[in-house]
Structure 1
Amino acid sequence: MKKLLLIGAILVTGAISFADAKSDYENAIKLSQEKKIPEAIKVLEGLAKGTDATYTPKANLELGGYYFQNKEIAKSKTYLQAAWGNGKTTTPETVEAARLLYLVGILEKNKKDAEKYILWSDEKSGGTNADIASSLIIFYFDNNEQTKGTARYNKVLQSSDKDFVAEVDYNIGQYYLTKNNNVQAKSYLEKAYTGATSRVNGAGLLLSNIAIAENNPAQAEKYLLEMDTAAKSKNAQILGMLGTYYLRQKNNAKAEEYLTKILAVEPKNVSAKILLLGIYDTQNNTAKLNSIYNQLKSATPKITNKQIGIYFANIGEGPLSEKYLKKSISEDKDNESKVILGQVYAGQGKKAEAVKILQEAVNNKVNGASEILKEVEAMK
C-alpha cells in the first residue's frame, strides 16, 4: 500500500494570517531546510502554544509529524490532537492530522481510535481520496471485518472517476502482496491495470513482476509490451524492465533493442549502458564495447571499473563482475575492489581464489577485509 502521507519540511501552506505568526512559521521552515532542526522546533513550539487561527494548527501539525517520524509516538499524538482540534473544522491541517492520528492508532493497537480518525477523514474528503478510502477498506480487511470493508469498496466502485477506482484497487492489491496472497493481489491489480485511463501504471509493473516470480514469462512480457506500446517507447522504467526481461531470457538482440531505446530517452542512463556493456562483452563486439566503456569512463560523474564490477555482481553476472573488478585493481589501483572480488569468488564457490585475494586486501589494510576473510575461511 502506498504510504498514507509523506512528511517533508513543509506539510501544508495556506493563507496569510497575522504577520508575526507568519514570519515565525516561515523562519521555522527556513531553519528546517538549513538542517537546524532544534532551532526550528523551538520556534514551532512557540507557535503551537499560540492562538493564531492559521499558524498554530500548522505548527502543531509540523511538530506532530516530526515526532511521528522519529517514533516519539506519545509526543506526536499530543501535537496531532491539538492540530486536529476535535475535528471541528475541515482544513488541510485537520485532515492531515487525522490521517496521522489514524496511523498512531494503528501503532498503539487502538482499533477504536484508528477507526474514528480514518472514518472522519473519509467523510471530510467526500469519499473521493483514494489513499484514505483504501486505508479504510484495508483497515477493515486487516481486522477481519470483511463486511464493512466490502461495503466501503462497493461504494468506491460506484464512482465515475476511473483513476480513483483504479488507485484504490492498486492500493488494496499492494496490501495483499504484503500478505503474500498473490491470488487476491492479482485480482485487484488486474482491475487497477485495466481500469485506469492510462495503461502505463504501477499495477502493470507489479503484475509483470508477479508473473516472473510465478515462472510465467509470457504473461510478464505481455504486460510490459502493452505498457511500452501505450508509452510509445518513451518510458525508461518500462524499457529497462523489458531489457532486463530479455536478458534473463537470453535474448540479447531484443535486450539490446530496448536498452538502446532507453538511451534515446535518457542519454545518461548508467544502468542501460552497463547492461549494454555486458551484452557487447559477451558478443566480443569490440567496437561497441569500447564505445560504451569510454562513455562510462568519461561520464560526469565518472563511472569507475569498481562501480561496473559491483553492478554486475548485484545482478548475478559473476564473470563480468570479476573482469571489471580485476581492471579496477590493476588499472585503478583500488585495493577495496579486492574485498568485493573476494566475495564474488566466494559466491561462485571459488574459495581458494577468494581467500588469496582477501588476504591481499588484509595486507593492504583494507577496512573490513579481515572479517570477511574469516567468514570465507569458515566456508565448507
Structure 2
Amino acid sequence: MKKLLLIGAILVTGAISFADGKTDYEKAVKLAGENKITDAVKVLEGVAKGTDASYAQKANLELGAYYLKDNKIAQAKPYLQAAWGNGSSTTPEAVEAARLLYLVGIQQKNKADAEKYIIWTDEKSGGNNADVVSSLIIFYFDNNEQSKGTARYNKAVQSANKDFVAEVNYNIGQYYLTKNNTAQAKSYLQKAYTGASDRVNGAGILLAELAMNEKNPAQAEKYLLEMNTAAKGKNAQILEILGTYYLQQNNPAKAEEFLTKTIAVEPKNSAAKILLLGIYEVQNNTAKVNSIYSQLKSASPKVTNRQIGTYFGSVGAGSLAEKYLKKAITEDKDNNAKVVLGQVYAGQGKKDEAIKILQEAVNNKVNGAAEVLKQVQAMK
C-alpha cells in the first residue's frame, strides 16, 4: 500500500521541510538530509517533548514512522499514539499516525486495535482514500468478516470517482494474488482494468501476466496490445513487455519491432537494448551487435559486461550470459563476474566448471563467493 502522506519520509530522504517551522524541527530535517539519522532522531525527541503542540505532533509522527520502518514496534507505538492524540486531532499528521497504528495492530496481532485505527482513519480521511478504504476491506476479508468487507466495498464502488474505484479494485486484486486465489484476483483486477480512466494500468499488466501463467498467450497479447493502443504506442513499459512477450513466443521479428520502439520512446532503456543485443547475437548480425553493444558501453552510467551477462543469465540465455561474463572477467578484470558465471554454469548442470570458477572467486576474496561455492559443491 502507498503511504497516505510523504511526511513520514523525512528521516530517510530529508525531502520535506516547513518554511515556518520551529528551529529544532528544521534542524532535524537538515540533519536527516545529510544522512545524520542518529542526530536527527535526538533533535526530534526534544521537539516531541516540547511545548509547541503542532511540531511535537509532527516530531512524534516522524519518530514513530522511523522506528516502524525498522520494525521496532514497541518503540514506534508510543510515538504514534502521541501523534494520534486519542483521536482528538484530525490533522494530516494524526490521520497518518492512525494509519501507522493500524499497521502496528496488525504486527502485534491485536485485531481490536487494528480495526479501531483503520476505521478512524477511513472516517477522518473522508472515506475517499483508496489505500485506506482497501486496507479496511482487506482487513475484514482477512479476518473472515466477509459481510463487513463486502458492505464497505459496495459503498466504495458507488463513488463517482472512477479512478478511486479502480484503485480499490486493484488493491484487493493484489491481496487475492498473495492468497493464491487467482479467480478472485482476476475478478477485481478486471474491474480495475476496465474501470480506470486510463486503460494503461497495473491491473492490465497483472492480467497479462496471469494469462501467461495460465498458458493463454493470446489473452495476454490482447491485454498488452489494448494498452499499447490506448497509450498510442508511447508507453515504454508496455512496449518493452510486448517485446519480451514476443521473444517468449519465439517471434524475434515482432520482438525486435517493439524493443526498437521502446528505445525510441526511452533511449536510456538498457534492458530493451540488451534484449535486442541478444536477438542480433542469435542472428549473427555483427553490425547491429556492435552498434547496440557500443551504445550500452557508452551509456551514462555505463552498462558493464557483467551487467549484460547477468541479465542474459536471468532470462535463461546461458550461452550469451557465459560470453559476456567471460568478457567481464578477461577484459574488465571483474572478479565479481566469476560468481555470476559460476551460478550460470551450475544452472546448466556444469558442476565442475562452476566449482573451478567459484574457487577462483574465493581466491580473489570476492564477497559471497565461498557460500555460493558450498552450495554448488553440495549439488548432486
Query: Same fold by TM-score, threshold 0.5 exceeded?
Result: yes
Shift of 1:179: 0.5
Partner of 1:45: 45
Shift of 1:375: 3.6
Equivalent residue letter for 1:190: Q
User: Superposition pairs for residues 291-330 of structure 1, below 5 Å?
Assistant: 291-330=291-330
Residue 119 and residue 11 in structure 1: after superposition, are their counterparts in 2 closer, same or farther (change >3 A)?
farther
Shift of 1:367: 4.8
Equivalent residue letter for 2:313: A
Any idea what SS the aligned residue of 2:89 has? coil
Partner of 1:94: 94
Partner of 1:238: 238
Residue 284 and residue 14 in structure 1: after superposition, are their counterparts in 2 closer, same or farther (change >3 A)?
same
Identical-pair percentage:
74
- Cα distance in 2 for partners of 1:337, 1:49 equals 52
Equivalent residue letter for 1:162: K
Shift of 1:332: 2.7
Partner of 1:172: 172
Contact 1:186 1:207 in 2 (8 A): yes
Give the TM-score, by structure 2 length. 0.93
Residue 131 and residue 285 in structure 1: after superposition, are their counterparts in 2 closer, same or farther (change >3 A)?
same
Equivalent residue letter for 2:191: K
Shift of 1:319: 0.8
Shift of 1:138: 0.6
User: Superposition pairs for residues 31-110 of structure 1, below 5 Å?
Assistant: 31-110=31-110
1:8 paired with 2:6, answer: no
Partner of 1:208: 208
Contact 1:277 1:293 in 2 (8 A): yes
Shift of 1:56: 1.3
Partner of 1:120: 120
Shift of 1:356: 3.7
User: Quick check: 332-341 or 252-261, which moved more?
Assistant: 332-341
Any idea what SS the aligned residue of 1:54 has? helix
User: Superposition pairs for residues 245-324 of structure 1, below 5 Å?
Assistant: 245-324=245-324
Residue 289 and residue 157 in structure 1: after superposition, are their counterparts in 2 closer, same or farther (change >3 A)?
same
1:336 paired with 2:336, answer: yes
1:187 paired with 2:221, answer: no
Q: Could you list the per-position Cα deviations for residues 216-240 of structure 1 after superposition, in whole angstroms to 9, with x for gaps in the alignment?
A: 1111111111111111121111111
- Cα distance in 2 for partners of 1:3, 1:243 equals 33
Partner of 1:131: 131
1:350 paired with 2:350, answer: yes
Residue 43 and residue 15 in structure 1: after superposition, are their counterparts in 2 closer, same or farther (change >3 A)?
same
- Cα distance in 2 for partners of 1:359, 1:39 equals 44
Equivalent residue letter for 2:83: A
Any idea what SS the aligned residue of 2:131 has? helix
Equivalent residue letter for 1:44: L
Equivalent residue letter for 1:270: S
Q: Could you list the per-position Cα deviations for residues 117-139 of structure 1 after superposition, in whole angstroms to 9, with x for gaps in the alignment?
A: 11111111221111111111111
- Cα distance in 2 for partners of 1:5, 1:126 equals 15
The answer for unaligned runs of 5 or more in structure 2 is none
Any idea what SS the aligned residue of 1:316 has? coil
Q: Could you list the per-position Cα deviations for residues 165-217 of structure 1 after superposition, in whole angstroms to 9, with x for gaps in the alignment?
A: 11100010011011110100000000000001110111111111111111111
The answer for unaligned runs of 5 or more in structure 1 is none
- Cα distance in 1 for partners of 2:197, 2:344 equals 45
Equivalent residue letter for 2:327: K
Partner of 1:141: 141
Any idea what SS the aligned residue of 1:300 has? coil
User: Superposition pairs for residues 148-159 of structure 1, below 5 Å?
Assistant: 148-159=148-159
- Cα distance in 1 for partners of 2:186, 2:255 equals 27
Partner of 1:196: 196
Partner of 1:220: 220
- Cα distance in 1 for partners of 2:212, 2:367 equals 38
Contact 1:2 1:171 in 2 (8 A): no
Contact 1:15 1:54 in 2 (8 A): no
Shift of 1:329: 2.7
Residue 256 and residue 94 in structure 1: after superposition, are their counterparts in 2 closer, same or farther (change >3 A)?
same
Contact 1:12 1:92 in 2 (8 A): no
Number of equivalent positions: 376
Residue 227 and residue 43 in structure 1: after superposition, are their counterparts in 2 closer, same or farther (change >3 A)?
same
Any idea what SS the aligned residue of 1:100 has? helix
Equivalent residue letter for 1:79: Y
- Cα distance in 2 for partners of 1:94, 1:303 equals 45
Contact 2:4 2:96 in 1 (8 A): no
